[in-house]
Structure 1
Amino acid sequence: MIEAGSTAFWRATLALCIGSFMVFANVYVTQPLLPLLSDAFQLTPLQTSWSFTITTLTLGLSLLFYGPLSDVLGRPRLMLFSLCGVVLTTYGLSMVTSYQQLLLLRGIQGLCMGGLPAIAIAYMGDEFKRPALAMAVGLYISGNTLGGIGGRLISGFVGDWLGWQEVFLVMSLISLVCVTLFVWLLPAPRHFQAKPLQPRRMLVDLGDHLANPLLLLAYLVGGFNFFIFLNQYSYATFMLAAEPYNLPASLLGLMFLTYLSGTLGSAMSGKFARWLSQPLVIAIGILFLMSGTLITLLPSAWWVVAGFFVNAFGFFVAHSSASSWVSHTATHSRASASSLYLVFYYLGASSGGFYLDPFWHWQQWQGVVVGSLLVLAATLIAAVTLYFKGCVVPARMQGVFIQRPAV
């Protein structure tokens, strides 16, 4: 087993972080390009957002299948297959001549992208000792965040400088370098044991999780929070690209640096959970998200950016706590319970634009804020419901409050 600090530890962790960076850079690459794509193909904001929506939709659905397949076929082989698919589809995107072609390739790209996020932690669980696993997972998740930020920054600056098609060409070259490093660095598995594919067992487990109200509420909270949070960025790019701001794609890409406060939020969620139950920490995160959304109404681009810093902090506090709640609350098959959370999470990302679009046409950004607060009020109620139905008081607070029994 791989020990923390060993050469094999750093090679494996770096390989998975590079793969994660590559995947999430490609997921979010179109967000700063939305105004450019709208002009190039004469599309409405909703139609343009499909270039992002279709990818998160197919990515979310693919997560249900990669995990079980990796139990049969092996982890590195399937991860490499999916990463190579991302490189090829990204290069293909640089040569499309119609929006329909772009959507088709983005959908296929999403199917390819799901391989690494669905399998990476399972690979770590097979090969790493427990202390090494905790450290490696934290570094791997940071790769997710950096990929999301990096893809948007690359997209914004290259799109502003060369054009939207060249963005995909540059991303395909960067992705090819990432895949090469991934293959060179990742140690061959030594402790993997193939298992038979059991689709019936998988379906029964998924049904059990959906029938558990404590898990279902957490799935809905995570999905609907991302439903709002991520799609706010899409409509904010249109707001900031128009009068009175007139920001270019490069500066729109910089707006996604607000995700950095989410890294702080993820880290602090664990500290909050030492004093408060996880449902209450989720509720606190949602309140931050609602507050940041209101701040964006103030009449300055700087206030919009400040609001998104608050949003990202609150969202990742809630997201980290909700995903941890799922892992601790599932009575069996925790891996499939966590995968199902991610399915709701990405389905929320892929559908939020359709919900917010009527609000955008009604009152532009002010309408988006109203639509956002309606959904966030519902997720706040769901988080409070989780507290009353099944919260567990943190160990440091036991004896201060009476522990509420799970229902």
Structure 2
Amino acid sequence: MIVAHSRAWWRATLALCLGSILVFVNLYAPQPLLPELRQLYGVSTLGVSLVMSLATLALAGALLVFGPLSDAIGRGGIMRVTLLLAGLCSLVLAFAPTFEVLLAVRLVQGFVLGGLPAVAIAWMGDEFERPALMAAVGLYIGANTLGGIGGRLIGGGVGEVGGAGAGFLTVGLVTLVGVALFWKLLPAPHQFTPRRFELRGALADLSGHLRQPLLLAAYLLGGLNFLIFINQYSYITFRLAEAPYGLGARWLGLIFLTYLGGTLSSSLSGRLTRHLSQPVCMALGVLILMLGTLITLADSLGWIIVGLTVNAVGFFLAHSMASSWVGRQAQRARGSASALYLVFYYLGASLGSLWLEPFWQRGGWLGVAIGSWLMLGVTLGIALWLWRSECCPAQASVAR
């Protein structure tokens, strides 16, 4: 097993963090290009939004495929091949002749982008000792935030100068270079034991994970937290685009730099587990997210930015703890267990507007904050239940 901070640990962690960055660069790069794509292809605002939503939904579906598949054929090959295909898709997007072709390629790209997130933490669970796993997952989750920020900055920055095609082309070329480095850095697995793939067995594994209370609780915590966190960004842009702020699209895009707070908390989460249990860290993350939401009620733009940064700190702390909890608690089929966590995660993102929209319509941003606190109260209760289960071994063994 790979020990924390050894040469093999740094090499593997760097490779997986790089892969994570590449995934989210490709996923989010089109977001600042949507206005240009709308004009270029002559489609509606709702139509052009499919560029993002189709990719995200395809990614969520891919997690259910690649997770169980990795338990049978291995995880490294899946990560390498799917990253390569994702980069090639970005190159194709640069030359898409019609909007229908663009959507078809994004659908394929979203699917292959699910390869690495579906199996990366399971790969760590196979190869790393527990302290090494805790530290590596924190850095890996932090890399997610850097990829999301980097994708928007590359896509928007290059696209503003050379158009959407240039943005996609740049992302594709950057991805291919990154894949070459990833291919070289990722060590060969030594602890992985393959299992013969059977559809019935894969479905049984997924069903088994859902019947484990300690896993289901982490799935719900991650999905419901993301439901609030990512959709708050949508509603805060509506607030800041109106008077008295009147921010334009370029400045609204820069709000995602507050994700850097999550990069910091994720990278430090491994150290925090030396002093606090994982469920306590999850609860702490939820409380910080609730505090950040309170700060965003201020009228000052500066305090709003502070609040969003605090939100990112809390959310990514809880997310890194919940995802690594799944990798540790799954007794078998870790690939499908980790994939199922991310399915809940991305489904939460897609359903968040259904929960927050009524609060927004009735109470504006204060309503969004109230809706957020109600849901976060649920996830705080889940974290405390996990803490109680961990403190009572007899209860935890029954739950399993």
- For this structure pair, what is the TM-score category when the shorter chain's length is used for normalisation? 0.7 to 0.9
* Residue in 1 that maps onto 2:69: 69
Are the aligned partners of 1:153 and 1:250 in contact in 2 as well (CA < 8 Å)?
no
Are the aligned partners of 1:28 and 1:148 in contact in 2 as well (CA < 8 Å)?
yes
Q: CA deviation at 1:198?
A: 2.8
1:279 aligns with 2:305: no
Are the aligned partners of 1:265 and 1:316 in contact in 2 as well (CA < 8 Å)?
yes
* Residue in 1 that maps onto 2:379: 379
Matches within 5 A, 1:5-404: 12-33=12-33, 43=44, 49-96=49-96, 101-123=101-123, 139-186=139-186, 194-267=194-267, 269-270=269-270, 273=273, 277-360=277-360, 365-388=365-388, 390-392=389-391
The residue type paired with residue 18 of structure 1 is: L
Cα distance in 1 for partners of 2:30, 2:380 equals 30
Q: CA deviation at 1:304?
A: 2.2
Cα distance in 2 for partners of 1:28, 1:372 equals 24
Are the aligned partners of 2:255 and 2:305 in contact in 1 as well (CA < 8 Å)?
yes
Q: Percent identity?
A: 54
Q: TM-score w.r.t. structure 2 length?
A: 0.81
Cα distance in 2 for partners of 1:214, 1:124 equals 20
The residue type paired with residue 155 of structure 1 is: G
Structure 2 unaligned blocks of 5 or more: none
Q: Deviations over 1:320-364 (max 9, x none)?
A: 232243344445444433332122112212332344345555555
Task: Please state whether the residue corresponding to 2:391 is helix, strand or coil.
Answer: coil
Task: Please state whether the residue corresponding to 1:217 is helix, strand or coil.
Answer: helix
Q: CA deviation at 1:226?
A: 0.6
Shift of the 307–23 alpha-carbon distance from structure 1 to 2, 3 Å rule, reads same
Shift of the 219–248 alpha-carbon distance from structure 1 to 2, 3 Å rule, reads same
Q: CA deviation at 1:175?
A: 1.5
Shift of the 24–304 alpha-carbon distance from structure 1 to 2, 3 Å rule, reads same
Q: Deviations over 1:276-305 (max 9, x none)?
A: 554343233222212212322322332221
Q: CA deviation at 1:125?
A: 6.2
Are the aligned partners of 2:273 and 2:281 in contact in 1 as well (CA < 8 Å)?
yes
| RMSD over aligned Cα atoms | 3.7
Structure 1 unaligned blocks of 5 or more: 394-402
Number of residue-to-residue matches in the alignment: 396
Q: Deviations over 1:95-154 (max 9, x none)?
A: 446665544333221101111223345555667788877766555444333222211222
Q: Deviations over 1:157-207 (max 9, x none)?
A: 334444444322321221222223334544566776654213322222221
Q: Deviations over 1:245-268 (max 9, x none)?
A: 344444334322212221332355
Q: Which moved more, 1:218-227 or 1:171-180?
A: 171-180
Are the aligned partners of 1:32 and 1:237 in contact in 2 as well (CA < 8 Å)?
no
Are the aligned partners of 1:296 and 1:305 in contact in 2 as well (CA < 8 Å)?
yes
Q: Which moved more, 1:161-170 or 1:92-101?
A: 92-101
Cα distance in 1 for partners of 2:81, 2:335 equals 22
The residue type paired with residue 28 of structure 2 is: Y
Q: CA deviation at 1:319?
A: 1.5
Cα distance in 2 for partners of 1:52, 1:148 equals 13
Q: TM-score w.r.t. structure 1 length?
A: 0.80
Are the aligned partners of 2:359 and 2:367 in contact in 1 as well (CA < 8 Å)?
yes
Q: Which moved more, 1:57-66 or 1:374-383?
A: 374-383
The residue type paired with residue 369 of structure 1 is: A
Task: Please state whether the residue corresponding to 2:29 is helix, strand or coil.
Answer: coil
Task: Please state whether the residue corresponding to 1:216 is helix, strand or coil.
Answer: helix
Cα distance in 1 for partners of 2:38, 2:367 equals 20
Are the aligned partners of 1:31 and 1:234 in contact in 2 as well (CA < 8 Å)?
no
Q: Which moved more, 1:269-278 or 1:292-301?
A: 269-278
Q: Which moved more, 1:114-123 or 1:32-41?
A: 32-41
Cα distance in 2 for partners of 1:50, 1:345 equals 19
The residue type paired with residue 198 of structure 1 is: E
The residue type paired with residue 63 of structure 2 is: L
Task: Please state whether the residue corresponding to 1:151 is helix, strand or coil.
Answer: helix
Cα distance in 2 for partners of 1:35, 1:359 equals 27
